[in-house]
Structure 1
Amino acid sequence: MRKIVSGTALVLTATLLTGCGGDNGPATADKSANASVKPKPDSGSGEVKHEVTLEVLGTGTSQVYYNLDTNKMEKVKLPWKKTSTITLTTDAEKRIGTTVSVVPGSVPGSDGTLHAAACVITLDGKKVADNQGGKSDKMCQYKVK
């Protein structure tokens, strides 16, 4: 049992870290969403700030792997929400962006089988990514610019 849990954690962590380097986007990412979300400039410093919220929906408990202000794995009670302010300070960060993501763990479905929990990412109050209520097997991720 310990090998299965360790192996699953390793695979999910590798998926999360691999996903952070690419620009594949989530299953339902709105490719134009970056253009329509207005950044909050910090007066005088040239910094751009965005409020990012990660959510995993459902009931019970589940493992959640996320990359927001840090890469972390937690066992949480659902529904779960984490909000942080992302500050882009360099020209490269503003141009290329930084990826935020959440990999929801499994939850039992109405038929008793396990499936991915639903996940959502909001940027400055606007939904920018989800996994179709858990119907997609992809994690939720978004590139904040």
Structure 2
Amino acid sequence: MRKIITGSALVLATALLTGCGGDDGPATTDKSAKADASGKSQSEAGSGEVKHEVTLEVLGTGTSQVYYNLDTNKMEKVTLPWKKTATITLTTDAEKRIGTSVSVVPGSVTGSDGMLHPAACVITVDGKKVSDNQGGKSNKMCEAKVK
């Protein structure tokens, strides 16, 4: 019985390793031969850096803890309102296609009712608002993908 199971496993592994899928035609390793919709090759279209100015803001008054992921992951005790701006540079094709995450988790502030509430947060990319927590009404952090 062990010989049958071992033999079956060997045949299955061989089939998986040989890529028992359909033939997509001849493989090419020259990426410059493939063109995108604009007619530029992938190596031409993907070359160069892409820069974005990203601003994280936490609004309110008083002091609060702020956790953020921008140019680094960091936690700070800050005086509100607080703002941090950095230039994010995307250099790889993967970063340009998938993006890189930026986020800010605002700490709590005392509301007009005397209760603790999340501070309001906003993320802008190149001057355009891409994320907010609805003025602190949402318990979610502010996060965005920069592409």
Give the TM-score normalised by the residue count of structure 1.
0.69
What aligned pairs does 1:38-49 form with structure 2 within 5 A after superposition?
A: 46-49=48-51
What's 2:62 paired with? 60
Q: Report sequence identity in percent.
A: 89
Return the match for 2:121 from 119, 142, 145.
Answer: 119
Secondary structure of residue in 2 paired with 1:46: coil
What's 2:78 paired with? 76
Q: Which blocks of at least 5 consecutive residues in structure 1 are unaligned?
A: 1-44
Question: Shift of residue 91 of structure 1?
Answer: 0.1
Secondary structure of residue in 1 paired with 2:97: helix
What aligned pairs does 1:17-36 form with structure 2 within 5 A after superposition?
A: none
Q: Following the alignment from structure 1 to structure 2, what is the Cα–Cα distance between the partners of residues 133 and 87? A: 29
Secondary structure of residue in 2 paired with 1:54: strand
- The answer to which structure, 1 or 2, has the higher relative contact order (CA under 8 A, 6+ apart) is 1
Give the TM-score normalised by the residue count of structure 2.
0.68
Q: Following the alignment from structure 1 to structure 2, what is the Cα–Cα distance between the partners of residues 125 and 71? A: 22
What's 1:102 paired with? 104
CA RMSD in angstroms comes to 0.6
Question: Shift of residue 66 of structure 1?
Answer: 0.0
Matching residue's letter, 1:59: T
Q: Following the alignment from structure 1 to structure 2, what is the Cα–Cα distance between the partners of residues 118 and 125? A: 18
What's 2:132 paired with? 130
What's 1:139 paired with? 141
Tell me the number of residue pairs that the alignment of Structure 1 and Structure 2 aligns.
101
CA radius of gyration, larger in: 2
